[in-house]
Amino acid sequence: MSRELPGSDPDHEVASAGRRLADPEWLVHGDPELILASLDDAAGEEETTAAAVYRTSGHVHRDAGAEVRRQVLALDAARYGSRELAADIGRVALRQEADDPWIVRWATGSGLDSRLRHALPVPAGVSALATVVVAGRGLAVAGCRDGTLHTWDLATGGRLGDAVSAHTGSVRTLATAVLEGRPVAITGGFDHTVRVWDVARGELVGACSADDDSWVKSLATGLVEGRPVVVGACVDDVLRVWDLAALCQDGEPSTVRTGFVSALATAVLDGRPVAVTSHSTDPAATDPVTGEETVRVWDLDTGRESGDLVVGPAFAEDQAYDRTAEGGAGGGGAGRCGTPDINARAHLLVTDPVSACPLAVSANGYEVHVWDLATREQVGEPLAAFVESAAVSMLDDRPAALLASAHGPVAVRDLSARRPLRPSLTGHEATVRAAATAVVDGRHLAVTGGDDRSVRVFDLDGERRTAGRLKGHDGSVTAVTTAVVDGGCVIVTGGSDTRVRLWDLDGDERPGGPLTTHTVAADLLAAGTVDGRPTLLTRGDGHRTVRMWDLATRQELHGRSTGEYTSPSIHFFAAVDDRFVGVTDEGRVWDLTASRWTGVQPRQRGALAVEMLEGRPVVLTAHKAEGVHLWDLATGELLAPPLTGHTGEVRTGAAGTLDGRPVVVAGGDRTVWTWDARTGQRIGGHVFPARIRGLSMAPGGRLVVGFGADVAVLASPSFSGPSSRRRAPVRCP
């Protein structure tokens, strides 16, 4: 469906795009495909910022109407620190003005990266990821935990064809190749089958079964005598090698009995195709921490383990890298290939497919190793990190690896110098599970996928740093609350780095550094006034410990921390009438001071928050998509009709005053809805580019929203508070 303005000419829009990227009206009303195609032509700081802002949520703009685009664009402009652009976008008129009680005041940008090319949403967690280049066209292929397969054009970010139902369960493993000039994906799952898909057409072109008692847990592709082959490591300790064309015609594989294989890659050594495995002959006897494993090399022509081989300068291929119709490269040079020891079983093994870099990267449960396969030596000391996925490439003629860890950004490291080669890639909201690389039109791209249900594409050659990013946490933000300290309102955040940090409302971290609260991330935070002092309560260490802090002095209140209120049934803590209470998932309230239940148990599960509304404490609850309910904390009375609007599960809520009337706000999926607390009438909604993580109402008609790993402050259009970064102290609920 066209999104052009009346009377607009698409050809004219393309021709004049370079002069319109900084035009807020065009960004809101213009055709997203035309705008996305013009972003590479941005010139000057103003257009470059506008292009970065548009790319940040390009996947949202493609399918959204002008109202949603205006909201998301204004938010992303604020995340980049461009308040003027955010305000200009917010003033763009809509053909049919919709009710929206909020405008963006400011937002943090910890999840932004100006190198981001595309965000590619998928319906479930990404379990496998690969790239393929054919006829100069780069494609990304993602396999998901719901069994679906998705393909995108890396240049445009556009989806290629429809999603494919590849397996009945999760896509366990994935590799790509070029067969007769067309890109194909080879997938494996727990259903014991290996399937070949034409990714451009979304068609199944071949399938086979590994064995009745086995299934393929790792896949890689390579070339044998110029013909593409598929290599599969199976759970019955056998390496199976299929001719790809024969596999599409029910051909039988050749087999190599290797013993247990924990990770697999393919390579070309001195012009001969080989498989590289992390290998153990007796996994039952291998201690998961101290057990010894080896990297072994197998000749794919003969099926025999290679002993002394001449290693050429070109070392190929990883299942998660580019393939071309011509295949890998060979070359001269002398060296030896052996079996270096690996401490603990490796779950990851990657090699460089096309460059003169005979290096391999392996990862186990707690460290990353780099191996020089020509000299049989480890390069440097192991890097202490748990890496979920990795990919290897050449950047600036340096061997480089992308290391995607369980939490935090994707590191880009120089493998020979053992140091960062690029600033780490940010953008994911949750665990990164897969990584791959591609070179398209001379541009180095990184493709990452994670538990946030998105695939993201980064330009590794981009040099421009992101502006306006909140920096501090070394990992994901796990909890957010607000507090009053020295008469001013602050944001308190807890992260997977086990630190709790305090921020001014403009995104600046307050002096004094973080609080070291627990040995693992704090899963609950609550702030309030106890005994006249601003106090923070944190729970962590797997529900084992609750600790209390004086926020003014940043000192722990010894004797007040406890292990008594650590049951997982406590859904959250709150401060009510100068005391802390714990609230269960069912909405029951436990007074921590009096050690007793208080109030009446609500008749619905899904507690969201305890708030003060018009002078009395209230409880917000929500169960799935049945609406939000507002209860009197003391009597259990239902104070308003069910508050409806969300189509999915509501995860967080808050209450306060907006333009003189009491309101309830609730966040589910990626939308915040607002209702009149007296009548139950919905008065507007606001869309965000990421899942809503937390909400809090502040005075003067302001709403603090935690989405993804970022925080935004929305305000009523009538809000007249200070707009400078150094705002006057205010008070929080």
Cβ proximity of 172 and 189 under 8 Å: yes
Maximum distance among all Cα pairs of the chain, rounded to whole angstroms: 83
Give CA 654 to chain center in angstroms.
Answer: 26
Please tell me the predicted confidence (pLDDT) of residue 183: 92
Torsion of CA 56, 60, 62, 67, to 10 degrees: -110
**∠ Cα 478 103 82 (to 5°):** 75
Cβ proximity of 336 and 252 under 8 Å: no
Burial label for 176, CB within 10 Å (0-12, 13-18, 19+), is buried
Helix, coil or strand: residue 563: coil
Chain segment 64-97, per-residue pLDDT in tens: 999 999 999 999 999 988 888 999 998 898 887 6
- Structure tokens, 145: 């935990």
Write down the H helix ranges in 269-331.
none
Residue 50's nearest CA partner among 22, 17, 86, 90 is 22
- Structure tokens, 338: 């052996």
Residue 133's nearest CA partner among 274, 267, 326 is 326
Positive or negative CA dihedral for 412, 414, 418, 420?
A: negative
C-alpha to C-alpha distance for 244 and 229, rounded to whole angstroms: 5
Helix, coil or strand: residue 51: helix
Place of tokens 């104070």: 639
Q: What secondary structure does DSSP assign to 463-483, as a single string?
A: -PPPSS-----SS-EEEEEEE
The conformation of residue 64, written as its DSSP 8-state character, comes to -
**∠ Cα 605 608 610 (to 5°):** 110
Please tell me the predicted confidence (pLDDT) of residue 141: 94
C-alpha to C-alpha distance for 49 and 72, rounded to whole angstroms: 15
Please tell me the predicted confidence (pLDDT) of residue 386: 79
Read off φ and ψ for residue 649, nearest 5 degrees: -70, 135
Helix, coil or strand: residue 58: helix
Neighbour count for residue 487 (Cβ, 10 Å): 10
Please tell me the predicted confidence (pLDDT) of residue 15: 46
Residue 323's nearest CA partner among 510, 185, 441, 530 is 185
C-alpha to C-alpha distance for 102 and 121, rounded to whole angstroms: 26
Cβ proximity of 178 and 196 under 8 Å: no
Q: What share of the chain is helix, strand, coil (3-state, %, to 5)?
A: 10, 45, 45
* Positions in the chain whose pLDDT score sits under 50: 1-15, 281-291, 308-343, 463-470, 722-733
C-alpha to C-alpha distance for 160 and 151, rounded to whole angstroms: 5
Read off φ and ψ for residue 81, nearest 5 degrees: 85, 10
C-alpha to C-alpha distance for 543 and 472, rounded to whole angstroms: 24
Q: What secondary structure does DSSP assign to 403-451, as a single string?
A: EEESSSPEEEEETTTTEEEEEEE---SS-EEEEEEEEETTEEEEEEEET
Residue 268's nearest CA partner among 141, 205, 357 is 357
Write down the H helix ranges in 225-289.
244-247
- Structure tokens, 180: 């007769």
Residue 382 half-sphere exposure, CB side, CA atoms within 13 Å?
A: 17
C-alpha to C-alpha distance for 436 and 125, rounded to whole angstroms: 16
Please tell me the predicted confidence (pLDDT) of residue 450: 61
End-to-end CA distance of the chain: 45
